[in-house]
Chains A and B, each alone.
Chain A
Amino acid sequence: GQQVMQIPQYQHVQEGEDFTTYCNSSTTLSNIQWYKQRPGGHPVFLIQLVKSGEVKKQKRLTFQFGEAKKNSSLHITATQTTDVGTYFCAGRNTGNQFYFGTGTSLTVIP
């Protein structure tokens, strides 16, 4: 069946360092979405990528969708304590079903 793998599972960084999480799908995706879940909270939508090779930026966050539409990454520049949480990618297939990655839990050390 379709799988979406996400690495790393955990990441601890010093405040100010950069952070990247990677998402890989076993099959081609129609699009990919990214969500952030704060500790004790629920996932909140960040962005959607649709086109092959697409790159989108939100302030310090940069999102990329691979050329083959099977992988994606989220990069945070100069992390802040407000970036703490778990970041999930969610790939959508042609059947309109979402497959979530296992998430990357980010800890930012002040």
Chain B
Amino acid sequence: KAGVTQTPRYLIKTRGQQVTLSCSPISGHRSVSWYQQTPGQGLQFLFEYFSETQRNKGNFPGRFSGRQFSNSRSEMNVSTLELGDSALYLCASRSRGAVGELFFGEGSRLTVL
């Protein structure tokens, strides 16, 4: 079974630009969540989608948005990039099993110059 796939793996943008990151969950997983990871801050929850609906949202500004498609693939978008948006963005999918552990992708490392 293929794991969670995130693209692109690395990207460099400049301030003011926007970026779109993509995540394909494990086949059969309908829940996809996004996290921002920066040194010393751990994993900050961005949002979670289930069956194309946003179920939870973290404390991030409106510049951060996401969506989920009918095939469970998800995208997140960051507009008007700031230097502080430089981070590893991790996507995780989850089944509805008893444990419901998160399966993470390798992440998309964004650098904002």
A residues 59-110 near B (Cβ < 8 Å) are: 88, 90, 95-103
Select which of B40, B55, B59 is within 8 A of A102 by beta carbon.
B40
Contact B99 A100 (CB under 8 A): no
A75 to B: closest C-beta gap in Å: 20
Asked if A42 and B107 sit within 8 Å, CB to CB, the answer is: yes
Tell me the interface secondary structure of chain B in the complex.
strand
Q: Cβ of A98: which chain B residues have Cβ within 8 Å of it?
A: 33, 45, 102
Question: Which of B43, B105, B106 is A88 in contact with, Cβ under 8 Å?
Answer: B43
Q: Tell me whether B56 is interfacial, beta carbon within 8 Å.
A: yes
Chain B 80-101 near chain A by CB (<8 Å), digits 1 or 0 = 0000000000101000000111
- Of chain B, the residue at the smallest CB distance from A101 is B42
Checking A9, A90, A99 against B102 with a beta-carbon cut-off of 8 angstroms, the contacting residue is A90
- B107 / chain A contacts, CB cutoff of 8 Å: 42
19 more contacts with CB within 8 A, not counting A42-B90, A48-B99, are A1-B59, A35-B102, A42-B105, A42-B106, A43-B92, A45-B102, A45-B103, A48-B100, A48-B101, A95-B56, A96-B55, A98-B33, A98-B45, A99-B45, A100-B35, A100-B42, A100-B43, A102-B40, A103-B42
Q: Which residues of B contact A (CB under 8 A)?
A: 33, 35, 40-45, 48, 55-56, 59, 90, 92, 99-107
- 29 CB < 8 A contacts A-B: A1-B59, A6-B42, A33-B102, A35-B102, A41-B106, A42-B90, A42-B105, A42-B106, A42-B107, A43-B43, A43-B102, A44-B104, A45-B101, A45-B102, A45-B103, A48-B99, A48-B100, A88-B43, A90-B43, A90-B102, A95-B56, A97-B45, A98-B102, A100-B35, A100-B42, A101-B42, A102-B41, A102-B42, A103-B42
